Structures are given as C-alpha cells and as structure tokens.
Structure 1
C-alpha cells in the first residue's frame, strides 16, 4: 500500500530529526555565561520543535495503526470516507475535511 510506505518513510524521517535534536540538546552549555544565554534560547526553540515532532510521530503511528486495523481512510469522528486528495496531502489525517473544519 502506497500510503503505508509513505507513512513509514515519514515516521523514519521524523524519528531521525528528533534524534538529531536530542543530540543537540544533550550537549553541555558553554562555560561563558553570555554564550549560555544564547544556547539556552536555542535549546528552548529546539525543545519546542521536538514537542511538535513528537506529536507528528504520534499522528503517523496512529495512522499506521488504522492501516493495520482496516480503518485507515475513515473519519474518526463521523465515519465518512476521507477524500483521497486529503490523504494524499496529509496521509496521517484521521478526520474528513468537514470534521477537521469543525475542530479548527
């Protein structure tokens, strides 16, 4: 299934990005206090990026679980089919466009 392959590739890329961020965050702070302030700001930005990536990873894993249980492509809210174009754009989508608009 093409969607499964795309989702697995997306999951792999997200995990690699998260690993790079975790490596950057594990680096000790510079001994220079002025450099520490800059590094702490950078770390805060990286932590925010990591949180977003973790959310994306969770969404992709849920989509892969829906493929495994045969519910992929069905709206989790109303049960309608999710339009193929929406799944093409966002393969991890769990809501049809109408339900997604209501949530947003």
Structure 2
C-alpha cells in the first residue's frame, strides 16, 4: 500500500507530464499551416486529433486537481459517491479516481 505522499508525488508527476504535453499541442496547433490544399487538409485532420488529445489532457488535469483537493480536505481514498474506501490496488492504478470499483461499475 502506498502512502499519501507517494500518491501525491505520482499525481504531481503526471500533472507535469500533462502540462508539458498540452504546451506542445498548443504550439503545434499555433504553427503556421501549409498553403497547399492537400497538405492543409492533412494538417486539418491532424489538428482535430491534437484538439481531442488536448481536451482529454485537460479532463485528466481536472481529475488530478480534484484528487489533490480531496487530499487537502482529508477525504482522499474515499469514494465520492458512497463513501467507501477505494482499494489501494485501484488507487495505485488510478490515483486520481474519485470512485470505488463498485460505484464505477454502475456508471
């Protein structure tokens, strides 16, 4: 079983990775596009993929920040839906998870 500090370290590390990735995505989206129609079409498709990756990253950041807030509140590791303890195995795999496996199965 990991300690709260280990979970916090894992969350902070992932937050740093996501921040770096999102900056790279933003830079790529801001880059000048080709004037060639065929190249522009391919770049547009790539932009759509990058935008989706950025959106996914932002959602993960929100989940991580919520988990860090639960740590500050002293409720980290408790299911936000039913109040049961989230298993250490689940937290080790998904340290930002707000739900126990029983509640997540009902979504």
Q: Same fold (TM over 0.5)?
A: yes
State yes or no: 1:21 paired with 2:25: yes
Alpha-carbon distance in 2 for matches of 1:70, 1:19? 31
Alpha-carbon distance in 2 for matches of 1:54, 1:101? 24
SS at 1:2 equivalent:
helix
Q: What are the residue-to-residue correspondences of 1:16-95 with 2, within 5 Å?
A: 16-95=20-99
State the shift of 1:31 in Å: 1.1
Alpha-carbon distance in 2 for matches of 1:51, 1:96? 25
What is the match of residue 97 of structure 1? 101
After superposing on structure 2, the runs of 4+ consecutive aligned residues of structure 1 that deviate more than 4 Å are none
State the shift of 1:65 in Å: 0.6
Number of matched residues?
A: 103
TM-score, with length taken from structure 1: 0.97
RMSD in angstroms over aligned alpha carbons? 0.5
Alpha-carbon distance in 2 for matches of 1:16, 1:69? 27
Unaligned runs of 5+ in 2: none
Unaligned runs of 5+ in 1: none
